Structure 1
């Protein structure tokens, strides 16, 4: 507010230097906000103010001020890099720092030179944390030691301590990779040096930061050595932070991180009760931190820090004989952002009127609209700052805070109404069991002490121990180390060279082996438990997988079997498996499950390079005579597709797709003149759509950074209001996909099977096709009758091509999954 007041007088045309000074100060303010929130809008505001300052702080006129602002921009891009991991952000930070050093030379401005050297050291340290390349560590150390040449303890004790802490972090990262005790000792020495200046009574927050770092160091030592003394030292440092917080409250980030660290430490020690106790505190603090974030990116930054904690808490609850609490713990860690979005759109809020509280629904709707509109305005900070008369950002923030308070007050009132007690909260075990009356829910998770499956039915929770499913074994299968042929490494290597036969063969071999491992480590005991529960063969089972398991085709787990035709027994031969981001997602999907599914929008081959796509679309449209619309090739523009989407209750995309490997929300479907991204799907509101079929590559792959959040196209369409989505887990073959999806529509629309059953039967049909004479005869009949989306001439050319293929391998049929209801 004071800066905005100053700018009312310090106008550029009147006092350009003073205007630039205040713009720079506002940049610093928004940078601090971004550091706490992680919200990109705050980063954009900081950048806009800094770039305004540079309009007057030109190098030839004000070199020192120009260098100061270049350094500040370097800090901004470094913070962005810390959150995104995108090398482009690191390069931008480095460029700004190097610009600053052109003026901030040691012989001219030694303190400023040391400041920028320290910043460059931190940048290279962040790079080392992500890359593990020793050259990056060496660059970090060189810059940090440069800074110490001027940041001497007797001259600049605070800065000296800060660099000592940075060197401690560097040696800790080296120790995490090398396991060499000398590296741990170096880290400890630097941390102890920092504490000589960063004393508790003088700088409590800085002291707490170093205490937490020492806790991390001893926790890493304990992980390697198993020595109880190391665990006790880590515990003491974390508890010291919590003690300080009780005496004099610290920012919420400190207790949040200390409770999270203690949850992990006690879990490793198998102190189940202590681990659960601190996990409860983590959830409480996390709820507070999320409530302070206005944008999704800010919330994601905190959720990343809780990865794996819900699984650990569930395992600990089970060891304490608390299976119901274990279910609630796992559910609390599943797709929180999706759950929040779905809760805000709850359709049963309209029922408040029947309870005599229609005023609450109307007040909630109005408060939510006001809050969302203010956030929308804030998200365009750079554009608004560029206006001739920029608005006062502080006024926006005040209005947002007031709108959020109003919204929270209405939410609290709604929770007082019977039946709405858990509004905008995770589901209780009772609500989850009620969902499981329709089909068992199976939560799946891995921990360092073993895996777990929780089979939830309408009247029970059954714990299935999975001793072979550890975090380490799962990581070996999915990620592994550089040079290993693991699930992800083999797939990504083939994906970059899809016409390389050797890489394709490697990927198919690894996929097959992974599915075999899934049977032994996971699905065989789960199937046994389902059988013991008396579940009939073919029944629907909902899988809710955690972490890396969300990437894998669990339904394609297999064991050798002498039964023809394929000589294998796959998991989907026993039951119809569907997937869900969370029980809460199913809870909301159920309210839309009775929608009609009798009109089709087909988006066909927008780039014109998928030869079997037209036939696939014709097969689908044959089941919607007079009730379908086709946007083919160049017709499938962004504008045409977005306009047509609300008009149909079945959406079929036959196109290219791409997962958001680096940034989950960039996952997209290719259209004729651009793409439809997951971020855009989140913004849709589809009140009539029943099913989306994503007949494209990688359309069900979740983001790798937060797989438990299930940030992927299926969850995006569910957030938009669609209860059921078909998507794929890898880059699929055009021919086998066309055949599979055609069969799916025949079984669903032609024979009346439910969506999930139709997909399962289509997958088994395709798998067994060339080992089954009856299936081959059916294929020929369908092709010649045009039911496989082709004319008679096309069928004549198609059948010989199909007969050259053997689709037994899971690559051809197992990619597609059904998510939701």
Structure 2
């Protein structure tokens, strides 16, 4: 009561005409006081609060005062929301969202833009809920789309709307110079470590770096150079037309989303998790439907995924704990149950053959292709070799294969997984020729992978790749890689890569003399490039924050100009990946196969490949290849690989586990 009296007294001095800012602030505070008032009629107090907020918004407009407009309009929207006045809440939240997006457009700093969106994400969540409560699913999914993947979307807008707005060469040169200097300081004897004994650690295409501790004087120098590099990066980003000119990228309408669906047998599945539930929007050419996974909210679904899947994966990638791989089948079965896939399919997808999946938060890291639709799972025994040549786990003579195999989501639907519909829309608008495409290959840049050579020599024959478009080992430098991306339509990148889960802009491709980071790729414009296959580890791995901006190497190549990128969700097996790539491109050479069809066919071919067929059709060629690459330095390693090959040939279905085939994702055009 005292606060209300004080605010009312203040309003006798703070008039709208003489002190508009103070008057609006006091009206907002008065509204807050009436919401919390105990004395008097509740309905009257709420009406008075609404009137006070509305008066404050006469001054606190999105254009004049967006930050305070967000505060007051959010207060007003929340008041209506708690009272179940959905339409009135929507009006207030729309004004709040205008304020959020206008404030973002005024900032030239990526981190600050991300913070602004994350601070306002609750407004998006509530307006989505309002539209759902009103059964206006088309409007709800528009705001779902509007809140996600903004950084990548804005980068694509810059490059597509301003194709000649190149970054100042001197800025790029300085950035690359500082990055190379950092690499040299952090990896003092890197070239020597790529030979000989280093071969014993490369069963997967995940790069674990070097274990030597950096000396303290060097550490101080590294920190100074890193600070300079970050300063140059900020200058590069502020030269971006969207940031420099305070432009706002228009969000997609439902009509524009539906235009991405090319036939009546395709649907978009857009996932969205709130505190309480996960919503699955089913967007077809003519309508939008909704399936609700009740009780599957942030804690029960998203945090559960983080604790039971992503944290064990981090332990696995660091060679500390095999639980992630061994428990994969059981976990994926549980995910299918959490998402109620069978009920979703029977209710909404019985006539659908292709799905464009837009995940939310940690669902981006789930291999949708391997979500089982029956109660069968495949166990996975880790048969990777340790540095001394012994298996980390002694496998049985034959892994048990059930007589009835699991049926997966990818067996029922062709799948594409995209960060957002707007990213797919930009890919579709690009007018590129796919006739007589030239392929470029980047191969085994660090020299410690065994089977990438087998993979790439076969691809070179298949596509008649000239030697100058095939960068092997010491030819796979940062500079040569950059030039190759400008010259080809199809890029096959087969070497080590690492996702940085703390700073995703530092996720990187490992090359002979340095690294290509996601930040580097974000600066590229590749108008000729159509297809990228990142035959590396973790090129589609990232931990999503509240704003659901998935910053991965794969997203970087889509931003740079690619129409489609095949990438990986985890540290993939070297040998299985080599076979998978060959199967994929064999199917892609058939003009009747779309990219998702080729991906599924390769997955099916790999998982159904029997040990007997591996022995009869591939073993002789593979052993000849291993013999051909054998040297005094790697002869022990080659011998281990021959043993490994013999072990796989003795299994019924050596690659039946989703670990081998489900980590590959097709993003972009079909």
TM-score (norm. length: structure 1): 0.59
Confirm or deny that 1:645 pairs with 2:473.
no
Deviation at 1:297, TM superposition (A): 3.3
Question: In the alignment, does 2:363 pair up with 1:549?
Answer: yes
Cα distance, 1:407–1:253 mapped onto 2, change above 3 Å: closer
5 Å matches for 1:376-775?
Answer: 424-438=249-263, 439-480=266-307, 486-496=308-318, 498=319, 500=320, 503-509=321-327, 512-532=330-350, 534-535=351-352, 539-560=353-374, 567-590=405-428, 591-592=430-431, 594-596=433-435, 598-627=437-466, 629-706=469-546, 708-749=548-589, 753-770=593-610
Residues 294-303 or 424-433, more deviating: 294-303
Cα distance in structure 2, aligned partners of 1:464 and 1:443: 10
Tell me by how many angstroms 1:277 deviates: 2.9
Alpha-carbon distance change, 506 to 587 in structure 1, aligned in 2, over 3 angstroms:
closer
8 A Cα contact 1:603 1:631, kept in partner: yes
Provide the C-alpha distance between the structure 2 equivalents of 1:510 and 1:269, rounded to a whole number of angstroms. Answer: 44
Q: Which stretch shows the higher mean deviation, 583-592 or 300-309?
A: 300-309
Q: CA contact under 8 A between 2:272 and 2:280: conserved in structure 1?
A: yes
- For 1:764-803, what aligned pairs fall within 5 Å after superposition? 764-770=604-610, 776-777=612-613, 780-785=616-621, 799-803=645-649
Distance 1:655 1:290, change over 3 A: same
- 8 Å Cα contact 1:487-1:514 kept in structure 2: no
Partner of 1:326: 140
Query: For residues 740 and 247 of structure 1, what CA distance do their matches in structure 2 show?
Result: 61
The 3 A distance-change label for structure 1 pair 810 and 512 is: farther
What SS does the aligned partner of 1:517 have?
helix
Q: CA deviation at 1:542?
A: 0.6
| CA distance, structure 2, for counterparts of residue 549 and residue 265 of structure 1 | 32
Distance in 1, matches of 2:70 and 2:600, equals 44
Structure 1 pair 636–365 and aligned structure 2 pair: CA distance change class (3 A) = closer
Contact 2:28 2:56 in 1 (8 A): no
Residues 97 and 123 in structure 2, CA contact (< 8 A), matched pair in contact too: no
Q: Which has the higher contact order (CA 8 A, sep 6+)?
A: 2
Q: CA deviation at 1:586?
A: 1.6
Are the equivalent residues in 2 in contact too, given 1:561–1:568 (CA < 8 A)?
yes
C-alpha contact (below 8 Å) 1:691/1:722 kept by paired residues: yes
1:599 to partner: Cα distance: 2.1
Cα offset for 1:676?
0.7
Alignment counterpart, residue 808 of structure 1, candidates 656, 666, 669? 656
On the 8 A contact 1:604/1:617 being kept in 2, the answer is yes
Q: CA deviation at 1:284?
A: 0.8
Which residue does the alignment assign to 1:820?
Answer: 668
- Provide the secondary structure at the position in 2 that maps to 1:811: helix
Distance 2:609 2:309 in 1: 26
Give the drift of 1:809: 2.5
> Superposition pairs for residues 185-200 of structure 1, below 5 Å?
none
Give 1:571 shift. Answer: 0.6
- SS of 2:665's equivalent in the other structure is strand
Between structure 1 and structure 2, the one with the greater Rg is: 1
User: In the TM superposition, what is the alpha-carbon distance from 1:722 to its structure 2 partner?
Assistant: 0.3
Distance 2:132 2:405 in 1: 37
Q: Is the 8 A contact 2:21 2:59 kept in 1?
A: no
CA distance change for structure 1 residues 791 and 448 in 2, over 3 Å: closer, same or farther? same
Alpha-carbon distance, 1:310 to partner: 3.9
Deviations 1:141-160 (A, max 9, x none): xxxxxxxxxxxxxxxxxxxx
> Does the 8 A contact of 1:540 with 1:577 survive in 2?
yes
SS in 1 for 2:327: helix
CA RMSD of aligned residues (A): 4.6
Q: CA deviation at 1:723?
A: 0.9
On the 8 A contact 2:154/2:242 being kept in 1, the answer is no
More deviation, 457-466/805-814 = 805-814
8 Å Cα contact 2:296-2:338 kept in structure 1 = no
> Residues 146-197 of structure 1: CA distance to partner in whole angstroms, max 9, x if unpaired?
xxxxxxxxxxxxxxxxxxxxxxxxxxxxxxxxxxxxxxxxxxxxx99xx9xx
The CA distance in 2 between the partners of 1:239 and 1:425, in whole Å, is 32
Residue 252 (structure 1) aligns with? 66
Alpha-carbon deviation of 1:241? 7.0
Distance (Å, rounded) in 1 between the aligned partners of 2:42 and 2:364: 34
Give the CA deviation at 1:237. 8.9
Partners of 1:611 and 1:236 lie apart in 2 by: 74
* Change in 2 beyond 3 A, CA 1:515/1:650: farther
Report deviation, 1:489: 1.7
Measure, in 2, the Cα distance between the counterparts of 1:427 and 1:580: 15
State how far apart, in whole Å, the 2-side matches of 1:689 and 1:602 are: 13
1:285 Cα deviation from its structure 2 partner: 1.0
2:150 to 332, 336, 340: 336
Rounded to whole Å, the distance in 2 between the matches of 1:210 and 1:815 is 55
Q: If each structure's helix is expressed as a fraction of its own residues, which one has the higher value?
A: 1
Are 1:276 and 2:90 an aligned pair? yes
Tell me the SS of whatever aligns to 1:479: helix
Give the drift of 1:804: 5.6
**Mapped partners of 2:507, 2:668: distance in 1:** 19
| Matched residue, 1:44 | none
Name the CA shift for 1:764/1:297 in 2 (closer, same or farther; >3 Å).
same
Cα deviation, 1:210-258, whole Å, max 9, x if unaligned, reads: 989x989x99xxxxxxxxx999999999997775453567842222245
Q: 1:628-652, CA deviations, whole angstroms, 9 ceiling, x for partnerless residues?
A: 6222222211112112221111112
Cα deviation code 1:640-674 (max 9, x no counterpart): 21122211111122222222311221111111122
Q: Distance in 2 between matches of 1:819 and 1:521?
A: 22
Query: Does structure 2 retain, via aligned residues, the 8 Å contact 1:683–1:720?
Result: yes
How many residues are aligned here?
553
Equivalence for 1:301: 115
Q: Verify the 8 A CA contact 2:137 2:290 in the aligned structure 1.
A: yes
- Conserved 8 A contact 2:510-2:516: yes
- Aligned mates of 2:121, 2:570 — CA distance in 1: 24
Separation in 1, partners of 2:242, 2:646: 63
Aligned counterpart, 1:56: none
In structure 2, the CA distance between the partners of 1:234 and 1:599, relative to structure 1 (3 Å rule), is farther
Against the structure 1 CA distance between its residues 566 and 754, is the aligned structure 2 distance closer, same or farther, given a 3 Å change threshold?
farther
Structure 2's unaligned 5+ residue stretches are 179-234, 377-400, 630-637
Report the CA distance shift for 1:561/1:742 in structure 2 as closer, same or farther (over 3 A): same
